[in-house]
Protein backbone atom coordinates (compact mmCIF):
# COMPACT_ATOMS: atom_id res chain seq x y z
CA UNK A 1 0.00 0.00 0.00
CA UNK A 2 1.41 3.44 -0.89
CA UNK A 3 2.15 5.45 2.25
CA UNK A 4 0.06 8.46 3.20
CA UNK A 5 0.54 11.31 5.68
CA UNK A 6 -0.09 10.30 9.30
CA UNK A 7 -3.23 12.46 9.47
CA UNK A 8 -4.82 10.48 6.62
CA UNK A 9 -6.33 7.06 7.28
CA UNK A 10 -7.37 4.11 5.09
CA UNK A 11 -10.69 2.31 5.42
CA UNK A 12 -12.65 -0.14 3.28
CA UNK A 13 -16.42 0.19 3.05
CA UNK A 14 -18.70 -2.43 1.52
CA UNK A 15 -22.00 -1.26 0.03
CA UNK A 16 -24.71 -2.88 -2.08
CA UNK A 17 -22.70 -1.87 -5.14
CA UNK A 18 -19.05 -2.64 -4.39
CA UNK A 19 -16.19 -2.51 -1.89
CA UNK A 20 -14.75 0.99 -1.81
CA UNK A 21 -11.38 2.02 -0.43
CA UNK A 22 -11.58 5.46 1.21
CA UNK A 23 -9.03 7.89 2.61
CA UNK A 24 -10.26 9.88 5.60
CA UNK A 25 -9.01 12.87 7.58
CA UNK A 26 -10.49 15.24 10.14
CA UNK A 27 -13.00 15.07 12.98
CA UNK A 28 -16.06 12.88 12.60
CA UNK A 29 -18.33 15.75 13.70
CA UNK A 30 -17.01 18.30 11.17
CA UNK A 31 -18.76 19.24 7.89
CA UNK A 32 -18.15 16.52 5.30
CA UNK A 33 -16.04 17.25 2.22
CA UNK A 34 -16.01 14.42 -0.35
CA UNK A 35 -13.07 14.55 -2.77
CA UNK A 36 -13.49 12.69 -6.09
CA UNK A 37 -10.38 12.00 -8.18
CA UNK A 38 -9.78 11.97 -11.93
CA UNK A 39 -8.97 9.38 -14.58
CA UNK A 40 -5.85 7.20 -14.17
CA UNK A 41 -5.36 8.35 -10.58
CA UNK A 42 -6.81 7.63 -7.15
CA UNK A 43 -7.69 9.21 -3.81
CA UNK A 44 -3.94 9.15 -3.00
CA UNK A 45 -3.58 12.29 -5.12
CA UNK A 46 -5.63 14.17 -2.52
CA UNK A 47 -3.73 13.04 0.58
CA UNK A 48 -1.50 16.16 0.90
CA UNK A 49 -4.49 18.49 0.63
CA UNK A 50 -6.48 16.41 3.11
CA UNK A 51 -3.87 16.97 5.83
CA UNK A 52 -4.72 20.69 5.70
CA UNK A 53 -8.42 20.62 4.82
CA UNK A 54 -8.93 18.00 7.51
CA UNK A 55 -8.44 20.72 10.12
CA UNK A 56 -11.77 22.23 8.97
CA UNK A 57 -13.68 19.31 7.45
CA UNK A 58 -14.27 15.61 7.67
CA UNK A 59 -12.52 14.69 4.41
CA UNK A 60 -13.57 11.53 2.59
CA UNK A 61 -11.75 10.57 -0.62
CA UNK A 62 -12.93 7.32 -2.24
CA UNK A 63 -11.14 5.39 -4.95
CA UNK A 64 -13.64 5.10 -7.81
CA UNK A 65 -14.45 1.63 -9.15
CA UNK A 66 -11.51 0.21 -11.06
CA UNK A 67 -9.07 2.71 -9.54
CA UNK A 68 -6.75 2.60 -6.56
CA UNK A 69 -7.64 -0.12 -4.06
CA UNK A 70 -11.40 -0.21 -4.70
CA UNK A 71 -13.09 -3.20 -6.27
CA UNK A 72 -12.70 -3.41 -10.04
CA UNK A 73 -16.36 -3.60 -11.06
CA UNK A 74 -16.95 -3.10 -14.82
CA UNK A 75 -18.05 0.36 -15.98
CA UNK A 76 -21.25 0.48 -18.04
CA UNK A 77 -20.44 3.44 -20.27
CA UNK A 78 -24.02 3.63 -21.55
CA UNK A 79 -24.84 5.25 -18.20
CA UNK A 80 -22.25 7.97 -18.64
CA UNK A 81 -20.65 8.68 -15.25
CA UNK A 82 -23.68 7.43 -13.31
CA UNK A 83 -21.94 4.21 -12.25
CA UNK A 84 -19.44 6.38 -10.36
CA UNK A 85 -22.09 8.77 -9.01
CA UNK A 86 -24.32 5.91 -7.87
CA UNK A 87 -21.35 4.24 -6.17
CA UNK A 88 -20.70 7.49 -4.33
CA UNK A 89 -24.31 7.81 -3.24
CA UNK A 90 -24.29 4.25 -1.89
CA UNK A 91 -21.05 4.93 -0.03
CA UNK A 92 -22.40 8.07 1.64
CA UNK A 93 -25.88 6.76 2.47
CA UNK A 94 -25.28 3.10 3.36
CA UNK A 95 -22.27 3.65 5.61
CA UNK A 96 -21.94 5.59 8.85
CA UNK A 97 -19.48 8.05 7.31
CA UNK A 98 -22.07 10.83 7.00
CA UNK A 99 -24.78 11.51 9.60
CA UNK A 100 -28.21 10.77 8.19
CA UNK A 101 -29.70 13.79 6.44
CA UNK A 102 -26.49 15.84 6.44
CA UNK A 103 -25.71 17.60 3.18
CA UNK A 104 -22.18 17.08 1.89
CA UNK A 105 -19.68 19.36 0.19
CA UNK A 106 -18.32 17.81 -3.01
CA UNK A 107 -14.95 18.42 -4.67
CA UNK A 108 -14.37 16.89 -8.09
CA UNK A 109 -11.09 16.97 -9.99
CA UNK A 110 -11.06 16.34 -13.77
CA UNK A 111 -13.28 13.25 -14.33
CA UNK A 112 -14.39 13.76 -10.73
CA UNK A 113 -15.90 17.09 -11.76
CA UNK A 114 -18.40 15.33 -14.00
CA UNK A 115 -19.10 12.76 -11.28
CA UNK A 116 -20.01 15.40 -8.69
CA UNK A 117 -22.19 17.28 -11.18
CA UNK A 118 -24.02 14.04 -11.98
CA UNK A 119 -24.41 13.44 -8.25
CA UNK A 120 -25.92 16.91 -7.83
CA UNK A 121 -28.29 16.35 -10.76
CA UNK A 122 -29.52 13.08 -9.27
CA UNK A 123 -29.52 14.17 -5.59
CA UNK A 124 -29.74 17.99 -5.49
CA UNK A 125 -31.06 18.05 -1.93
CA UNK A 126 -28.02 16.15 -0.65
CA UNK A 127 -25.37 18.64 -1.78
CA UNK A 128 -24.27 21.66 0.28
CA UNK A 129 -21.68 23.04 -2.17
CA UNK A 130 -19.47 22.00 -5.08
CA UNK A 131 -15.79 22.64 -5.84
CA UNK A 132 -14.87 21.96 -9.47
CA UNK A 133 -11.12 21.55 -9.84
CA UNK A 134 -9.99 21.47 -13.48
CA UNK A 135 -13.27 19.71 -14.33
CA UNK A 136 -13.75 17.93 -17.63
CA UNK A 137 -16.36 19.52 -19.88
CA UNK A 138 -20.00 18.95 -18.93
CA UNK A 139 -20.38 17.59 -22.49
CA UNK A 140 -17.80 14.86 -22.06
CA UNK A 141 -14.29 14.51 -23.40
CA UNK A 142 -13.58 14.88 -27.11
CA UNK A 143 -15.67 15.09 -30.24
CA UNK A 144 -17.70 18.30 -29.72
CA UNK A 145 -17.30 21.59 -31.49
CA UNK A 146 -18.95 24.54 -29.72
CA UNK A 147 -20.01 25.87 -26.28
CA UNK A 148 -23.31 24.00 -26.58
CA UNK A 149 -21.64 20.60 -27.03
CA UNK A 150 -22.63 19.94 -30.65
CA UNK A 151 -20.94 16.71 -31.86
CA UNK A 152 -18.48 16.92 -34.74
CA UNK A 153 -19.78 13.60 -36.08
CA UNK A 154 -23.08 11.76 -35.45
CA UNK A 155 -21.20 8.76 -34.05
CA UNK A 156 -18.99 10.94 -31.77
CA UNK A 157 -15.84 9.73 -33.54
CA UNK A 158 -12.67 10.95 -31.91
CA UNK A 159 -13.84 10.21 -28.37
CA UNK A 160 -14.00 7.09 -26.22
CA UNK A 161 -11.83 4.06 -25.59
CA UNK A 162 -9.99 4.18 -28.90
CA UNK A 163 -8.45 7.56 -28.16
CA UNK A 164 -6.18 6.37 -25.33
CA UNK A 165 -2.55 5.80 -26.24
CA UNK A 166 -2.11 2.00 -26.37
CA UNK A 167 1.44 2.24 -25.05
CA UNK A 168 0.24 4.05 -21.93
CA UNK A 169 -2.42 1.37 -21.37
CA UNK A 170 0.17 -1.38 -21.83
CA UNK A 171 2.64 0.28 -19.47
CA UNK A 172 0.00 0.66 -16.76
CA UNK A 173 -0.91 -3.01 -17.10
CA UNK A 174 2.78 -3.98 -16.92
CA UNK A 175 3.49 -1.80 -13.86
CA UNK A 176 6.02 0.41 -15.66
CA UNK A 177 7.65 2.85 -13.21
CA UNK A 178 10.30 4.15 -15.64
CA UNK A 179 10.75 7.63 -17.00
CA UNK A 180 12.48 7.02 -20.33
CA UNK A 181 9.43 7.01 -22.61
CA UNK A 182 6.89 9.82 -23.12
CA UNK A 183 4.06 7.29 -22.79
CA UNK A 184 5.22 5.98 -19.40
CA UNK A 185 2.86 6.76 -16.49
CA UNK A 186 5.64 8.71 -14.78
CA UNK A 187 6.16 10.94 -17.81
CA UNK A 188 2.41 11.46 -18.17
CA UNK A 189 2.29 12.51 -14.50
CA UNK A 190 5.23 14.91 -14.65
CA UNK A 191 4.66 16.39 -18.12
CA UNK A 192 0.87 16.37 -18.49
CA UNK A 193 -0.88 16.18 -15.11
CA UNK A 194 1.13 19.21 -14.01
CA UNK A 195 2.89 22.04 -15.82
CA UNK A 196 6.20 20.50 -16.99
CA UNK A 197 8.24 23.04 -15.01
CA UNK A 198 6.74 21.71 -11.76
CA UNK A 199 8.88 19.27 -9.78
CA UNK A 200 7.44 16.72 -7.37
CA UNK A 201 9.19 15.66 -4.18
CA UNK A 202 10.75 12.31 -5.07
CA UNK A 203 8.77 10.20 -2.61
CA UNK A 204 5.45 11.80 -3.56
CA UNK A 205 6.15 11.30 -7.25
CA UNK A 206 6.86 7.62 -6.70
CA UNK A 207 3.69 7.17 -4.68
CA UNK A 208 1.52 8.91 -7.28
CA UNK A 209 3.00 6.73 -10.02
CA UNK A 210 2.16 3.70 -7.88
CA UNK A 211 -1.40 5.02 -7.58
CA UNK A 212 -1.68 5.38 -11.36
CA UNK A 213 -0.49 1.81 -11.78
CA UNK A 214 -3.39 0.58 -9.65
CA UNK A 215 -5.76 1.49 -12.50
CA UNK A 216 -7.61 -1.56 -13.85
CA UNK A 217 -7.14 -1.85 -17.61
CA UNK A 218 -9.15 -3.48 -20.38
CA UNK A 219 -12.44 -3.13 -22.21
CA UNK A 220 -14.47 -2.95 -18.98
CA UNK A 221 -12.18 -0.46 -17.28
CA UNK A 222 -9.50 1.87 -18.68
CA UNK A 223 -9.78 2.80 -21.47
CA UNK A 224 -12.76 0.70 -22.61
CA UNK A 225 -13.78 -0.80 -25.94
CA UNK A 226 -13.92 1.03 -29.27
CA UNK A 227 -15.77 0.89 -32.59
CA UNK A 228 -14.39 1.50 -36.04
CA UNK A 229 -15.76 4.64 -37.68
CA UNK A 230 -15.83 5.93 -41.26
CA UNK A 231 -15.29 9.39 -39.80
CA UNK A 232 -11.95 10.92 -38.84
CA UNK A 233 -9.98 9.80 -36.88
CA UNK A 234 -11.46 6.34 -37.48
CA UNK A 235 -12.50 5.39 -33.95
CA UNK A 236 -15.83 5.89 -32.18
CA UNK A 237 -16.85 5.15 -28.59
CA UNK A 238 -18.00 1.76 -27.43
CA UNK A 239 -20.25 0.93 -24.50
CA UNK A 240 -17.82 -0.24 -21.80
CA UNK A 241 -15.07 1.31 -19.74
CA UNK A 242 -14.19 4.71 -18.37
CA UNK A 243 -13.14 6.57 -21.53
CA UNK A 244 -16.46 5.66 -23.14
CA UNK A 245 -18.29 6.73 -19.98
CA UNK A 246 -16.82 10.22 -20.45
CA UNK A 247 -17.43 10.31 -24.21
CA UNK A 248 -20.11 12.83 -25.22
CA UNK A 249 -21.98 9.88 -26.73
CA UNK A 250 -22.86 8.86 -23.17
CA UNK A 251 -21.85 11.73 -20.87
CA UNK A 252 -23.79 14.99 -20.68
CA UNK A 253 -24.07 16.68 -17.28
CA UNK A 254 -25.00 20.09 -18.68
CA UNK A 255 -28.42 19.59 -17.07
CA UNK A 256 -26.74 20.79 -13.89
CA UNK A 257 -27.56 24.31 -15.09
CA UNK A 258 -31.21 23.76 -14.20
CA UNK A 259 -31.10 21.74 -10.96
CA UNK A 260 -33.14 22.62 -7.91
CA UNK A 261 -31.43 23.65 -4.69
CA UNK A 262 -28.57 25.36 -6.52
CA UNK A 263 -25.58 24.78 -4.22
CA UNK A 264 -22.81 27.36 -4.51
CA UNK A 265 -19.99 26.41 -6.89
CA UNK A 266 -16.26 27.21 -6.75
CA UNK A 267 -14.44 26.62 -10.06
CA UNK A 268 -10.64 26.48 -9.82
CA UNK A 269 -8.33 25.74 -12.74
CA UNK A 270 -4.81 26.51 -13.89
CA UNK A 271 -3.82 28.82 -16.73
CA UNK A 272 -1.47 26.16 -18.17
CA UNK A 273 -3.73 23.09 -18.06
CA UNK A 274 -2.76 20.72 -20.89
CA UNK A 275 -5.57 18.20 -20.31
CA UNK A 276 -8.75 20.22 -19.79
CA UNK A 277 -8.26 23.19 -22.05
CA UNK A 278 -9.51 24.80 -25.24
CA UNK A 279 -6.13 23.66 -26.61
CA UNK A 280 -5.82 20.25 -24.93
CA UNK A 281 -2.91 17.98 -25.76
CA UNK A 282 -5.18 14.96 -25.34
CA UNK A 283 -7.98 16.27 -27.57
CA UNK A 284 -7.72 14.77 -31.04
CA UNK A 285 -9.21 17.89 -32.61
CA UNK A 286 -6.37 20.00 -31.26
CA UNK A 287 -3.75 17.34 -32.00
CA UNK A 288 -5.06 17.13 -35.55
CA UNK A 289 -4.74 20.88 -35.89
CA UNK A 290 -1.11 20.57 -34.76
CA UNK A 291 -0.49 17.90 -37.41
CA UNK A 292 0.05 15.16 -34.84
CA UNK A 293 -2.89 13.05 -36.07
CA UNK A 294 -2.91 12.47 -39.85
CA UNK A 295 -5.91 13.29 -42.03
CA UNK A 296 -7.42 16.01 -39.86
CA UNK A 297 -10.39 17.39 -41.85
CA UNK A 298 -9.93 20.99 -40.73
CA UNK A 299 -11.43 23.47 -38.31
CA UNK A 300 -14.78 23.67 -40.11
CA UNK A 301 -15.34 19.93 -39.66
CA UNK A 302 -13.45 19.02 -36.49
CA UNK A 303 -12.20 21.97 -34.40
CA UNK A 304 -10.54 21.59 -31.00
CA UNK A 305 -13.09 21.04 -28.25
CA UNK A 306 -13.70 24.29 -26.32
CA UNK A 307 -13.63 22.54 -22.96
CA UNK A 308 -13.25 25.58 -20.71
CA UNK A 309 -15.77 27.52 -22.76
CA UNK A 310 -18.29 24.69 -22.39
CA UNK A 311 -17.93 24.67 -18.61
CA UNK A 312 -18.30 28.43 -18.48
CA UNK A 313 -21.42 28.30 -20.66
CA UNK A 314 -23.10 25.77 -18.35
CA UNK A 315 -22.13 27.68 -15.19
CA UNK A 316 -23.32 30.96 -16.70
CA UNK A 317 -26.70 29.34 -17.37
CA UNK A 318 -26.66 28.04 -13.79
CA UNK A 319 -26.10 31.59 -12.57
CA UNK A 320 -28.87 32.93 -14.82
CA UNK A 321 -31.24 30.39 -13.24
CA UNK A 322 -30.41 31.68 -9.75
CA UNK A 323 -27.31 29.72 -8.82
CA UNK A 324 -24.00 31.21 -7.74
CA UNK A 325 -20.49 30.40 -8.86
CA UNK A 326 -17.07 31.96 -8.64
CA UNK A 327 -14.11 31.21 -10.88
CA UNK A 328 -10.42 31.36 -9.97
CA UNK A 329 -7.66 30.82 -12.51
CA UNK A 330 -4.30 30.03 -10.91
CA UNK A 331 -1.24 31.43 -12.66
CA UNK A 332 1.64 29.18 -13.73
CA UNK A 333 -0.43 26.10 -12.92
CA UNK A 334 -1.41 23.01 -14.90
CA UNK A 335 -4.12 20.40 -14.43
CA UNK A 336 -3.56 19.72 -10.71
CA UNK A 337 -3.87 22.88 -8.59
CA UNK A 338 -4.11 20.84 -5.37
CA UNK A 339 -0.61 19.49 -6.06
CA UNK A 340 1.04 22.40 -7.91
CA UNK A 341 -0.33 25.34 -5.92
CA UNK A 342 -1.36 23.70 -2.65
CA UNK A 343 -1.40 26.81 -0.45
CA UNK A 344 -3.46 28.83 -2.90
CA UNK A 345 -5.81 25.95 -3.64
CA UNK A 346 -6.35 25.05 0.01
CA UNK A 347 -6.96 28.70 0.91
CA UNK A 348 -9.58 29.03 -1.83
CA UNK A 349 -11.38 25.87 -0.74
CA UNK A 350 -11.15 26.66 2.98
CA UNK A 351 -12.44 30.18 2.38
CA UNK A 352 -15.27 28.99 0.16
CA UNK A 353 -16.61 26.24 2.42
CA UNK A 354 -17.67 28.45 5.39
CA UNK A 355 -19.46 30.80 2.99
CA UNK A 356 -21.16 27.87 1.29
CA UNK A 357 -22.13 26.35 4.61
CA UNK A 358 -23.59 29.68 5.76
CA UNK A 359 -25.58 29.97 2.51
CA UNK A 360 -26.79 26.40 2.99
CA UNK A 361 -28.09 27.24 6.46
CA UNK A 362 -29.76 30.48 5.36
- pLDDT at site 98: 94
Give the whole-angstrom CA distance, residue 17 versus residue 21. Answer: 13
pLDDT in tens, 291-309: 999 999 999 999 999 999 9
Domain total for the chain?
A: 1
Domain annotation covers residue 39: yes
Provide the strand spans (E) within the chain: 9-14, 19-25, 32-36, 58-62, 104-109, 127-133, 217-218, 222-223, 226-228, 235-237, 264-270, 325-330
Q: What is the largest CA-CA distance in the chain?
A: 57
Q: Which residues contact 166 (CB under 8 A, 6 or more apart)?
A: none
Domain annotation covers residue 335: yes
- pLDDT at site 7: 86
Does residue 362 register a pLDDT over 50?
no
pLDDT in tens, 211-259: 999 999 999 999 999 999 999 999 999 999 999 999 999 999 999 999 9
pLDDT in tens, 35-70: 999 999 999 999 999 999 999 999 999 999 999 999
Helix axes 111-122, 82-94, angle to 10 degrees: 60
- Residue with the bigger pLDDT between 345 and 2: it is 345
pLDDT band per the 50, 70, 90 thresholds, residue 1: very low
Domain annotation covers residue 355: yes
**Backbone phi, psi, residue 14, to 5°:** -95, 130
Domain annotation covers residue 338: yes
- pLDDT at site 359: 52
pTM, to two decimals: 0.96
Structural domain for 83, as ranges: 9-149+250-361
Domain annotation covers residue 136: yes
Domain annotation covers residue 78: yes
CATH number at residue 59: 3.40.50.1820
Q: Which residues contact 275 (CB under 8 A, 6 or more apart)?
A: 110, 134, 192, 193, 281, 282, 334, 335
- pLDDT at site 357: 58
Amino acid sequence: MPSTPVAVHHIDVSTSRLRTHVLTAGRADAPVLVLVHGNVSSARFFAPAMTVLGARCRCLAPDLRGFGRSEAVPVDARRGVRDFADDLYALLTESHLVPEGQRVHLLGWSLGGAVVLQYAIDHPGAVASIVLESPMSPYGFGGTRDPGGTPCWPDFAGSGGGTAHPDLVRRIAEGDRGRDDPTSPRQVLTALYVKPSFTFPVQLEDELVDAMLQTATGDDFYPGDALASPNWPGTAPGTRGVNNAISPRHCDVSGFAGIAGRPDVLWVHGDSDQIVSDASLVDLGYLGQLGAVPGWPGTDVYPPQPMVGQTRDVLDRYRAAGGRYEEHVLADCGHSPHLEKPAEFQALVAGFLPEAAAADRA
